[in-house]
A and B are shown apart, each in its own frame.
Chain A
Amino acid sequence: MCNNPNRITSERKLVDKRDLIVRFAGEGGQGVVTSAEGLAQAATQVGYHVQTFATFPSQILGGPTWTQTRVSTSHVLSAGDELDVLVAFNREAYDNHVSEVRKDGVVVYNSGDFQLEDDGKSFGMPIDDLAKSTGNTRAANMVVIGAIANLVNMPQKYLEQFVTQRFTRGRANDQEIIESNIKALSLGREQAASSGFSLGTLSAAKRPEGQQILIKGNDAICLGATAAGIDFYTGYPISPATTILVWMQRNLIGPGKFAYQVSSEIESITSILGAGFAGKKVMTATAGPGFSLMGEGLGLGWMAEIPLVVVDVQRGGPATGLPTKTEQSDLFACMHPAHGDVSLPVIAPGTVEECFYAAVQAFNWAERYQGPVILMSEMSLAERAQNIPKPDLSKLTVENRKVYQGSNGYMRYEASGVSPMPLPGRAGSYVANGSEHDPTGDTTHLPERHVQMTERRFNKLKLLEDGTYEGKNTQESIAVMPWGGSKGPAQEAYNLLTEQGVPIGWYYTMYLNPLPPKLLEELRQKELVLVPELNYQGQWASILRSHGVKAEAITQYTGLPFKVRDLTRRIKEIVKSSQKRMVGV
């Protein structure tokens, strides 16, 4: 196996020994996902930082799937561009992904499935046969992880520790499973060792300070909602929001709690309207198609003033679009989902950690202004596993709506802003009305009432102007301002550009509506605000322009996240040409 001189003589080095990017590609069911997640779990156990990326076909079994795991000694911003290692489970995967392997990278392929001519960077191992020889066919992912560990000299004890912990589940066959998995790791190691390939040594992990958790974006939203005191969840299965429904059905249980799969997204939104009216803290989660169905109900929530949270986990659109790919193209829809004069609060987290805090804040906003709040996530965040500092629940601020405590005869909608909400079962009965209404909630068509009530509803948004934001190099006249999941790649690009001396500032907030007023003021002073976003129309840039900001979008609409190198190049080009333009003026 070692008769190729290239392999032995050239000690392949990690370009950056603090960072390892591995892609697993193959067919659904071959261990593509479990390998990526297994590597992430193993690496975080010993103190590395990780981030994964996953993209699936929209079918139950099979179909081309790939996942990526980036392991680093410091905080990871994106899943990474160029691959150090590609694990190709079949020929199609090799053909489709080999071009993304960096010059000195290595390809590990499944020689049980196909054979390759020697290309100087690849070695094969019969993944399934090796797994089978351990007596545990499900250990294929451990064969792969063992090989990768050997390529970067990761100590065997790290992995054995991980395997022991993971499979100690209090079952009779625990020991058997642990031993077969450790054997699988060793077999993978041996294969990599005898191939002669090496990528050097990944620097030892520096364990992050404080307890960390490894979690995906959708789970972080669920935990945030739980921390904020969610009582009631209804939902309908839809990629990539289904995992939120599944989580809630399992965990939102106990006295006063309720989670249920209803018959459509129309039932989701209207049942949480009913429960919100009854005094509960409520949420539903969906993706574009379901969100479209919720438009009328969201308008009702705004009109009748009912606190609720709707999560839109974006996928590619429109219509059925790209159910399992990522895109940021629902922003226009989220800002104005309903007919009539409506402006809904929108919070769009950009990282897995922000998913948690955004969910808490979405509930706080809903309770505070008594209306619907949209929490926008996206497929790449939903399925991204990342280590984040463990939130301290005792330090969270959790808000509850003002509840009416008086006697009957209350004018629920009289004040010019938010007013205490009566709860059914107690004194203070009124009609929560989706028609224009008078202070008691009765329907009215008087012009002065429509003016009064419209202004009341918009006045309440002023309560939500407490959003925070990031600003760096704010003296520069050109700034980059991503939103949502494009934050990570944009931040990595920004860091590279400022290292290179490109004069550029940075702004970011997850509070898209209402925008923090001071941030808007700053943005309006800029010559140019560049907005990297995953849609064709440049939706956020367009909204910023409507706010009087000179914004220009950097768009991509492939169904995949930005690559850092593309973003870096495109930002640099625009900065250069606008500098020329400014000098010319």
Chain B
Amino acid sequence: MTAKNPEYDFKWCPGCGDFGVRRALEFAMSDRITNKEIPMENNVVIAGIGCSGNLVHLLEGTQPYGFHGIHGRTLPIAMGVKMGQPDLNVVIVAGDGDFLSIGMEHIAPQAARNLDVTAVIMDNAVYGLTKGQSSPTTELGETTSSTPYGKLESALNPLDLYITLGVSFIASGFSSKPRDLAKLITAGMEHPGFAIVHVQSPCTTYNDNYEELKGNPKKGIQPLLWDIPEDHDPSDYTAAYKAVHSGGWPLGIIYRNTDRPTLNQQVEETQAKVKVKTPQQLLDSYDI
């Protein structure tokens, strides 16, 4: 909205990974509109707090609905939207601090419910907007403004967490490849159930790890990113588990389980079994 709204003055730093994630989401949403012939207003973007959450204001072109709420609560807000209006396409955009630290408690229940939403998580392993504190994905021993003598906690492996909690669709992407990332987001949106697309989206100011991610043969740095081979079967839980424990960051669809019903489907099935009472009938049951 920057182009048409000069009052909105938030900017990402030059080179921020979130630019690429924004492009990817724009691609995925506009592809969806074209392919499914449904209006952009059918999309709702639920944003967390932090640099990444500002994505909801920076989207260009036709605008989806947005909800820029409070820190850590994207998932339950998304649950309200999706269970209130099941026909909407609900997408979450949040960072590693919002989603994996303060918002951690909401991942397990949504995974258990198989809530049909897609979370696009921008992981830069740092709290950027508050100027460089450690996050759950910051490496052990790393020095940040809040860990001046080194981080005392080991880094969380988010992909391992998702697979353990039973998230039914898990993909891993990189912000510098927006076209590839768009495909992963599209696959997440099409997946019936809880989808997480976890994106390496570096912070050029506080944690510029582009070189580590991509590698640098001249310096002898091996890339952390590697492409999941084409013969990987995402429905194979053991293979998926292996992929997330092979070191570095796999790129592609890691796990996809389409056997589980979504929460919306379960609600529909339950409702079909239960006899519905009108307000008057409910009131009448208290007659003396």
Residues of A participating in the B interface, judged by any CB pair closer than 8 Å: 44-45, 211-215, 219, 223, 226-227, 231-232, 234, 251, 253-255, 258, 260, 262-264, 266-267, 270-280, 282, 296-297, 299-300, 304, 387, 390-391, 393, 408, 422, 424-435, 438, 440-446, 449
Contact = CB atoms under 8 A, between A and B. Distances in A.
B68 A431 contact: yes
B149 interface: no
Contacts of A296: 70
A432 B68 CA distance: 6
14 contacts: A223-B279, A231-B84, A253-B271, A253-B274, A260-B83, A264-B105, A278-B81, A280-B84, A304-B67, A425-B87, A431-B56, A442-B8, A442-B57, A443-B68
B68 A435 contact: yes
Contacts of B7: 438, 442, 444, 446, 449
A391 B81 contact: no
A377 B67 CA distance: 31
Given A390-B283, A425-B42, A443-B54, A271 B1 contact: no
A219 B286 contact: yes
Given A258-B84, A274-B46, 7 more contacts: A251-B282, A258-B267, A274-B77, A422-B65, A432-B66, A433-B66, A438-B8
For this complex, into which size category does the number of interface residues on chain B fall? Answer: 35 or more
A276 B84 CA distance: 8
B280 A393 contact: yes
Nearest to A272: B80
A496 B88 CA distance: 60
A264 B107 CA distance: 13
Contacts of B87: 425
B63 interface: yes
Interface in B36-54: 39-42, 44, 46, 54
B41 A429 contact: yes
B238 interface: no
Contacts of A424: 41-42, 44, 65, 81, 85, 88
Contacts of B41: 408, 424-429
Interface string B1-40: 1000101111000000000000000000000000000011
A478 to B, nearest CB: 39
- 4 tightest A-B contacts by CB? A274-B80, A431-B66, A275-B84, A278-B84
Given A270-B73, A270-B77, A424-B41, A215 B66 contact: no
Contact of A277 (B5, B81, B271): B81
A282 B84 CA distance: 9
A366 to B, nearest CB: 15
A397 B283 CA distance: 17
A270 B76 contact: yes
A214 B39 CA distance: 50
A543 B276 CA distance: 44
A71 to B, nearest CB: 13
A210 to B, nearest CB: 11
Contacts of A432: 65-69
A575 to B, nearest CB: 39
A444 B66 CA distance: 16
B68 A278 contact: no
A574 B283 CA distance: 43
A429 B81 CA distance: 14
